[in-house]
Each structure stands twice: as structure tokens, then as C-alpha cells.
Amino acid sequence: MNNQHIKAIVKFLFATSCAAFLSCAGSPPMRQQPAQEHSLEAAPKKRPNGSEKAFWNTSTSGGDLIVVGVGGVQMYDSGSIQKALEDAARKVSLFTGLKGVAVYYEQIGASFWRYSIANATKIDYNEDYLGYIDQLSYDPDSDIIINERGAFVRVRYKLPNPFHAIYPSSGSETEKPDWVINPPSSVAGFTAGVGYARPQMFPNATYVASYEAAIANLVSKGSHSIEAKSMQLQGEGYNYDDIREFITTATAVIDGFYILQVWVDPADGGVYTLAIAQFVKGL
């Protein structure tokens, strides 16, 4: 069985699992908040090139929700800032609630060449999130960085922050944090997930892929169903290979998804994301 065949199986199982799970779980809740004053015109037209920190975290000491939006560099700074605000709005939407399903496929044979794995994850959330942009606030003089890696905007959203402790980490911009070396299962009593993404074609896309991987990690901690079966495939001549297949499906409803820390590996530009969730429930 070649890799394309395996991917086709995962795609089919993934679509079937998503249809069954996402249709019966309902829609994620959306928390409405009053709009705040906000204008892109307040943003400076030119920003000096700087370097976003390779190791940074968001404040979780209470108060407003703090989110860092990441966008690709556009022709004009206002366009770059807009893309970052859209990413921040998406993160706020993910915070209000999401549902996820993940399918993992593993094939094990008698020989090394008969081992294959594949996986896929699907999340369902309120994708009409651009309305949150008008509810975000930031200081154009201190909350914006634009450089060759992207546009970074730190914003506040008027919603009580349920997390009350910053994860203590021994990392730095050049040294891996302890949560990268030993990923935690929880932080301050909240379920934790760690995601990693190798460098993408567009640098800002690496950050998105990394926090989506963290979501997948959290989904994997939901409820599981496992299907196993055995078969025989004809090899050379009259030889037959015993093949075993394992299909694991994980489903979860997640509330309060929040990115706590991000670390960029200076060696290759890969991005690690530590995220926590207020509530993870398997179905």
C-alpha cells in the first residue's frame, strides 16, 4: 500500500469523522462585547525595521485578554497591520470556542518498508471573526513591529482573562524553553498543548501553522476511538505480508484556547507554540 493510498484512506476517514462529529456537536459559542474605538489611520505610515522577539509570552495576570496578531508584509504598512489584526481577531474567535476532530492512521507490516503513518485535523469555529477587529485596541507607538518576518500587533480585547499565572519558563531567545524540551500536559491547572511548524514559504504562515498544531495537540487529548484490523498482502512470489492497521479518532470541544508563549528556533526558524485551554471535553 503506497503513501497515496494511505492518504486517500485518511482523507476518507477524516471526512466521515468530521461529518459525524461536527454535525452533532452544534456551533461554538460566540461571546459578544461592545465595540471599542479603533482606527488604522492612527498607525504610523513607516516603522523602522526591528526584530520581533524570538521568545515572548502574553500576560495572563488578569484584566483584558492580550493577543498578538501576525500578518504578512504588504505593500503598505496599513495593509500589513490589517492582516495582523485579522489574525488577532481569529485568535479571539478561537478563544470563544471551537470543536476539533483528528484522525491518525498507522500501518505496520513485517518489514521496515511496510510501516506508514498519516494524520489530519479539522477544527470548526466561528469563521465570521472579522467583526472582532473593531473591538480590538492597541497603542500604535508601542504595540506594532513590522519587519521582514511579518507584522506583529499586540492587542487587547475587553474580555476577562481566565488565566491567572504566567507559565514559568527558563528559556531565552537562544535557549529552548523547558516546555519545548519537555512539553507539559497542563499549566497552572489548565490543559496545555504544544505545536511546532517548520519554516513555511511565507514567514508569517509559520506562526499560524504552529498554533494550529497546538490546537491539534489539544484535540488529541479529547475522547478517542480506536479501530484495528489485520490483513495479508501478497509480496514476492508466494510470500504474504501480515499487515496491521490502526485508526485512532480523537474529538474535543475546546473553550478558552489561548496562546501563552511562542519560541522561534534561531537555528532553522521553526516556531514552537505553547497554548492552554480553559476547558477541553471529549465527545
Mean pLDDT of the chain, nearest integer: 77
224 contacts 246 by C-beta, under 8 angstroms:
no
Taking alpha carbons only, the member of 118, 151, 150, 163 closest to residue 256 is: 163
- pTM comes to 0.75
pLDDT at 113 over 80: no
Q: Which residues pair with 68 in a beta bridge?
A: 154
pLDDT at 55: 40
Q: What is the mean pLDDT of residues 112-140?
A: 87
Q: What is the mean pLDDT of residues 106-133?
A: 83
pLDDT at 28 over 70: no
Quickly state the pLDDT bin for 115 (edges 50, 70, 90). Answer: confident
pLDDT at 241: 67
Residue predicted with more confidence, 68 or 18? 68
Residue 64's CB is within 10 A of a number of other CB atoms, namely 14
Residue predicted with more confidence, 227 or 114? 227
CA dist 102 and 222 (Å) reads: 10
Interhelix angle 203-219/77-96, nearest 10 degrees: 0
pLDDT at 188: 85
Taking alpha carbons only, the member of 182, 16, 22 closest to residue 105 is: 16
pLDDT in tens, 188-237: 889 999 999 999 998 889 999 999 999 999 998 888 788 887 766 655 55
pLDDT at 25: 47
Name the phi and psi angles at 96, rounded to 5.
Answer: -70, -15
Sequence-distant (6+) residues with CB within 8 A of 193 are 214, 215, 216, 217, 218, 221, 274, 275, 276, 277
pLDDT at 224: 75
